[in-house]
Amino acid sequence: MPPSSLRVVYAFAREMHPKTTDVFIQYGTAGFRTKASLLEHVVYRMGLLAVLRSRVKNGRTIGIMITASHNLEPDNGVKLVDPDGEMLEQSWEEIATRLANVSDNDLESTTAEIIKQVNSDMALKASVYIGMDTRYTSPRLAAAAVHGVMALKGTPKEFGIVTTPMLHFCVKCRNDNTYGTPTEEGYYEKIVGAFKNISQKLPVVGNYNTTLYVDGANGVGGKKLNIIKKSLDGELDLVLFNLGGNGGKLNLNCGADFVKVSQKPPVGIEHVPFQRVASLDGDGDRLIYYYVDDKNEIHLLDGDQIAILLASYITELLKSCGAQELRLGLVQTAYANGASTRYITQELKVPVTCVKTGVKHLHHAALSYDIGIYFEANGHGTVVYSKEAKNVVRKIAEEGEAEQRKAAQLLLNFIDVTNETVGDAISDLFLVESVLRARGLDVRDWAALYRDVPCRQLKVTVQDRNVISTTDAERQCTSPEGLQTKINELVSKYPSGRSFVRASGTEDVVRVYSEADTQESADKLAAEVAQAVFDLAGGVGDRPELPE
């Protein structure tokens, strides 16, 4: 494409999506995320970048998702999805940041520089899939993405309102037709269809009951489950709440992030003791289970417990198949509860890899196993299966002895329920329900597998999050000077004490995580570490306090 034909890039920017702010915005662990009012020019430019990425990948389809996930409604965001349904390749994050921040006057020349830098063949066709969540700002931002794709003569395809994992799934299917059909219906057909197959093979036994309450966070996930609900044929009775009506605001006092961080049940439902409840987040990629006991205390079953439940069942199926040669491993971050790591390594005898926070790091590490299970404690995760693992299980399903064939068929269905591209609340919900059903467990049985060490998360607002540097998968702080020494000193005062700090990937806050032998001690340790961060890392505003 000759430079003169890049004039339209500037024309679209100037006339329709001008850059009206000097606020620097960075592509973080979840793409760009900030107040929606600051994003229109950024999303337009991501349309441009998606076309270049598609051409660098020989015309394979790239995804653009408009979402701010678990953030509150005034925020929004955008992230790119690579051809295999994975996060954008890390080396392109700097390119995305540069393109997002240049002035409109420099946009044309910067686009030309990037074309040259990444060696994008502008004669190739380019395909971009665009999805959005339910925020009122999303349609306008999706239109900006479409204009960016058109400005560089790419072909946009809009999916409208979908969960983030649905868009990842469709991108993967478009580039690999053996994975499924790249439509919302194709997603239901594969994932829900496989869950129904499993359910039909497994009678309801023990303490399991088919009624599940689901908190939809007033977002897209609840809306999609409302569609799915009608096709479940009684295999799972979904009672849905927080579906966005009655003035309910997205992620406000509800949803997976609220439940996990505040350790409180969401608004919108009268809780019955020991009722099984699943909470999704706003864009449907995180899942937390919980129940409230007869003393009105909440018990969380978060990403750690989900990972353990899935790992124990897959291990059992592999044994029944006679396929123990396949290497199964679990990937966690520093946020994983210490008790979960001990249970996985000592009881399940499954290896654990610890990586930096961010799904891209977990996903990459999980690929080193034949079967890799990764979950962040916040409920974001999935299972990935190598081609070798699928082939081994498929062969047993066809040629093994009767009992082995039965277990292998179940595992093949389990693989099909899994959205391997990214953490997916709906897919993970069906995986969890499959295991609870197979084992005849209720939430109390599940919670009794092991007991979490009490923990607390806090955040401290700082002038510049980049003052915090870490090493050892974010478990040790290397700057500012003296902070790690202070953390070590505070931790040493508490039995079973553990604490770490890390900069947020999306905003100027420092996140503090602490564990100790009692909830009171965990709370106290978190508050003390937060105070140290405030003093040594340039805290602004009010001094950190514990949530009530």
Residues 402-413: tens digit of each pLDDT: 999 999 999 999
DSSP 3-state of 219: coil
Q: What average pLDDT does this structure show over 290-297?
A: 96
Name the residues annotated as catalytic: 69
Q: What is the pLDDT of residues 64-79, one digit of tens each?
A: 999 999 999 999 999 9
Asked if residue 378 belongs to a known ligand binding site, the reply is yes
Asked if residue 262 belongs to a known ligand binding site, the reply is no
Q: What is the pLDDT of residues 153-179, one digit of tens each?
A: 999 999 999 999 999 999 999 999 999
The answer, yes or no, to whether residue 546 has pLDDT greater than 80, is no
By C-alpha distance, which of 373, 394, 377 is closest to 327? 373
How many angstroms separate the CA atoms of 62 and 82, rounded?
5
The answer, yes or no, to whether residue 123 has pLDDT greater than 70, is yes
Name the β-bridge partners of 78.
32, 66
Q: What is the pLDDT of residues 295-346, one digit of tens each?
A: 999 999 999 999 999 999 999 999 999 999 999 999 999 999 999 999 999 9
Domain boundaries for CATH 3.30.310.50 within the chain? 455-536
Name the β-bridge partners of 81.
63, 87
Q: What average pLDDT does this structure show over 468-493?
A: 96
Check residue 358 and give its pLDDT: 83
229-258 in b/e burial notation, b at 16+ Cβ within 10 A?
eeebeebbebebbbbbeeebebbbbbbbbb
By C-alpha distance, which of 164, 165, 147 is closest to 156? 147
Phi, psi at 401, each rounded to 5°: -70, 165
Alpha-helical runs (H) found in 153-243: 164-175, 184-187, 193-201, 220-229
How many angstroms separate the CA atoms of 161 and 323, rounded?
40
Domain boundaries for CATH 3.40.120.10 within the chain? 3-161, 187-299, 303-438
Q: What average pLDDT does this structure show over 72-87?
A: 96
The answer, yes or no, to whether residue 359 has pLDDT greater than 50, is yes
The answer, yes or no, to whether residue 354 has pLDDT greater than 90, is yes
Check residue 1 and give its pLDDT: 47
Name the β-bridge partners of 214.
240, 278
**What strands lie across the sheet with 371-375, from one edge to the other?**
352-354, 328-332, 371-375, 381-385
Region label for 464, one of left (φ > 0), alpha (ψ between -120 and 50) or beta (otherwise)? beta
Check residue 547 and give its pLDDT: 52
Domain 3-161 has CATH 3.40.430.10: no
Asked if residue 327 belongs to a known ligand binding site, the reply is no
Taking residue 182's Cβ as centre, other Cβ atoms within 10 Å add up to: 21
The answer, yes or no, to whether residue 241 has pLDDT greater than 60, is yes
Architecture field, domain 303-438: 3-Layer(aba) Sandwich (3.40)
By C-alpha distance, which of 35, 51, 177, 43 is closest to 126? 51
Q: What is the pLDDT of residues 5-21, one digit of tens each?
A: 799 999 999 999 999 99
The answer, yes or no, to whether residue 545 has pLDDT greater than 80, is no
Q: What is the pLDDT of residues 35-47, one digit of tens each?
A: 999 999 999 999 9
Phi, psi at 327, each rounded to 5°: -85, 115
Which residue bears the tokens 């399903």? Answer: 397
Cβ-contact 492, 440 below 8 angstroms: no
Both tokens of 432, joined, read: 């969890």
Phi, psi at 78, each rounded to 5°: -145, 140
Check residue 360 and give its pLDDT: 85
Name the β-bridge partners of 127.
155
Phi, psi at 523, each rounded to 5°: -60, -45
Provide long-range contacts, Cβ within 8 A and 24+ apart, for 180-184: 182/129, 184/159, 184/224
Class of residue 262 by CB neighbours under 10 A (exposed 0-12, middle 13-18, buried 19+): middle
Asked if residue 270 belongs to a known ligand binding site, the reply is no
Asked if residue 504 belongs to a known ligand binding site, the reply is yes
* Topology (CATH level 3) of domain 187-299: Alpha-D-Glucose-1,6-Bisphosphate; Chain A, domain 3 (3.40.120)
Both tokens of 470, joined, read: 């870490």
Sign of CA dihedral 531, 533, 537, 543: negative
Rg (CA), the chain: 23
Q: What is the pLDDT of residues 420-431, one digit of tens each?
A: 999 999 999 999
Cβ-contact 32, 25 below 8 angstroms: yes
Both tokens of 430, joined, read: 């069906």
Cβ-contact 282, 133 below 8 angstroms: yes
Phi, psi at 18, each rounded to 5°: -70, 150
Asked if residue 281 belongs to a known ligand binding site, the reply is yes
Asked if residue 20 belongs to a known ligand binding site, the reply is no
By C-alpha distance, which of 237, 239, 243, 236 is closest to 216? 243
Which residue bears the tokens 């349609």? Answer: 139
How many angstroms separate the CA atoms of 285 and 164, rounded?
6
Q: 523: Cβ–Cβ under 8 A, 6 or more apart, which residues?
A: 456, 514, 546
Cβ-contact 227, 287 below 8 angstroms: no
Sign of CA dihedral 514, 447, 371, 184: negative
Model confidence at 103, in pLDDT bands (50, 70, 90)?
A: very high
Check residue 2 and give its pLDDT: 45
Residue-level length of the chain: 548
Asked if residue 503 belongs to a known ligand binding site, the reply is yes
Class of residue 387 by CB neighbours under 10 A (exposed 0-12, middle 13-18, buried 19+): exposed
Candidates 3.40.50.150, 3.30.310.50, 3.40.47.10, 1.10.287.610; CATH matching 455-536 = 3.30.310.50
How many angstroms separate the CA atoms of 156 and 50, rounded?
10
Cβ-contact 51, 115 below 8 angstroms: no
Model confidence at 507, in pLDDT bands (50, 70, 90)?
A: confident
Q: 1: Cβ–Cβ under 8 A, 6 or more apart, which residues?
A: 115, 122, 123, 152, 153
Asked if residue 69 belongs to a known ligand binding site, the reply is yes
Q: What share of the chain is helix, strand, coil (3-state, %, to 5)?
A: 45, 20, 40
Helix (H) or strand (E) holding 292: strand 287-292
Name the β-bridge partners of 161.
132
Cβ-contact 259, 194 below 8 angstroms: no
Q: How much is the mean pLDDT over the chain?
A: 95
Class of residue 120 by CB neighbours under 10 A (exposed 0-12, middle 13-18, buried 19+): buried
Q: Is the preceding omega at residue 480 within 30 degrees of 0, hence cis? A: yes
- Parallel/antiparallel/unpaired status of strands 155-161 and 127-132: parallel
